[in-house]
Amino acid sequence: MWGGRYASGPSAIMEQINASIGFDRRLYAQDIAGSKAHCAMLADQGLISAEDGAAIQDGLDRILKEIEAGTFEFKTALEDIHLNIEARLAELIGDAAGRLHTARSRNDQVATDFRLWVRDAVDGLDEQLQALQAALIEKAEAHADTVMPGLTHLQPAQPITFGHHLLAYVAMVGRDRGRLRDCRARVNESPLGAAALAGTSFDIDRHATAAALGFDAPMENSMDAVSARDFTLEFLAALSISAIHISRLAEEIVLWCTPQYGFIRLSDAYTTGSSIMPQKRNPDAAELARAKAGRIVGAMTGLMIVMKGLPLAYGKDMQEDKEPAFDAAESLSLAIAAMAGMVGDMEADPDAMERALVDGFPTATDLADWLVRVLDMPFRRAHHVTGQIVALAEKQGCGLADLPLADMQRVESGITQDIYSVLSNVASVQSRTSFGGTAPGRVREAAKAAREKFL
């Protein structure tokens, strides 16, 4: 494989540690596309003959068909996807195959292939995240008026609408898509033609190959082109954050569908039973979506550590970039798909949400705000007065709306019957009309804006 200098082949262990064909075979389409662009450029520049160029193009097309038909024989002895394809090309078209590697090395080749793969993965994930947003927005619109407890510290805080809660995730996913978009712009530069590290003495046209492969431009520095993997790190970082967002929603779903909460019911399609407990409906899909964040962040961390301290230019360490990226992309893709399915299918139980608002005095802030608005009390004092009223209600075992006026007046004589107009959960959410607030009108407006922005 290594030509003149080598008298004997590698040891079995060498072959095993060195080979990447087991996983980089999935770059075959990108590798062939890169080779075809390179070959066309070599012919256009007069660096190979038109005949050789045509034979190479034809051979590469045949190889693509063989791989897609499953008849291509991948060989570990040929190390990676690049050498496997090149060797098959030689079998198919003979000596002309050897001209394809003019002014190119596997270092720029693999970086090119992998950037093309990451670009496709970004586009695929973006589409899936958009579908998740669509499912969330649809549910949010259906539940713009559905009141539920809003929590901080997992403790009852203030009433919110279910629609508002779901739209929070639409915003998060929107930023995840933005991060992918930003990442894509930096991914989309062509390393091809950087050759091993120093560029080449041949009169190649890197702008032409970059354009042919849909890259925005050739990378400016040949050493950077072959040794940069921050595009993968950035991809994994974007995936990690997205996976963390998915895991938060997954956790909420796990909580919401417990009998203790009962806020939602997942469909049969996204739950599993138990082999021993006949009553069970377990949210396995949500749990697994929650867990995927672990391996995705692990993939990012692992590659960060591989890259740390690597001297320029290429080092074989970089071959370790692919498996984590493949696994992370696959894991996130599955998690998003499961999440979109669960959200689309889930049924909310507004009565259970309302029951959950009975405890915890969720309209205490509304009471304090009333004291500020109507009695012109400084908020800090209103906070204190409300605290005393809450303590009273707690002692009597009732909610604020059920506490007799006389009791409230014992704490603050200025309170009138009008106070009850702000103590219901519905009144509370309807009053939160500030921009970005949970008032049903605002939620409907926000859902519409999200549709326009994201879908």
Catalytically annotated residues: 153, 274
Size of residue set near ligand ARG by CB under 6 A: 10
Note whether 234 binds ligand ARG by CB under 6 A: no
Which of the ranges 106-114, 264-272, 323-331, 349-357 carries the binding residues for ligand ARG, by CB under 6 A?
A: 106-114
Measured distance CA(438)–CA(145) in Å, rounded:
9
Considering beta carbons, is residue 107 or 430 the nearer one to ligand ARG?
107
Note whether 84 binds ligand ARG by CB under 6 A: no
167 in Cβ contact with 190 (< 8 Å): no
| Among residues 31, 80, 234, 412, the one that binds ligand ARG under rule CB under 6 A | 80
Identify which of 252, 249, 272 has the alpha carbon closest to the alpha carbon of residue 261. 252
Note whether 200 binds ligand ARG by CB under 6 A: no
Considering beta carbons, is residue 37 or 266 the nearer one to ligand ARG?
37
Considering beta carbons, is residue 80 or 189 the nearer one to ligand ARG?
80
Note whether 106 binds ligand ARG by CB under 6 A: yes
Considering beta carbons, is residue 21 or 243 the nearer one to ligand ARG?
21
Quote the least distance from Cβ 72 to ligand ARG, whole Å.
17
Token pair of 129, please? 């995240």
Quote the least distance from Cβ 113 to ligand ARG, whole Å.
9
Angle at CA of residue 390, ends 388 and 391, nearest 5°: 65
150 in Cβ contact with 159 (< 8 Å): yes
Note whether 88 binds ligand ARG by CB under 6 A: no
- What residue has token string 């001209």? 99
Token pair of 291, please? 């867990």
| Among residues 215, 314, 361, 420, the one that binds ligand ARG under rule CB under 6 A | 314
CA 51 to chain centre: 46
Considering beta carbons, is residue 195 or 289 the nearer one to ligand ARG?
195
Amino acid letter, 340: A
Which of the ranges 138-146, 250-258, 310-318, 332-340 carries the binding residues for ligand ARG, by CB under 6 A?
A: 310-318
Long-range contacts of 370-375 (CB under 8 A, 24+ apart): 370/418, 370/419, 370/422, 371/412, 371/414, 371/415, 374/414, 374/416, 374/418, 375/412, 375/414, 375/415
Residues near ligand ARG (CB under 6 A) are: 20, 24, 80, 106-107, 110, 314, 316, 318-319
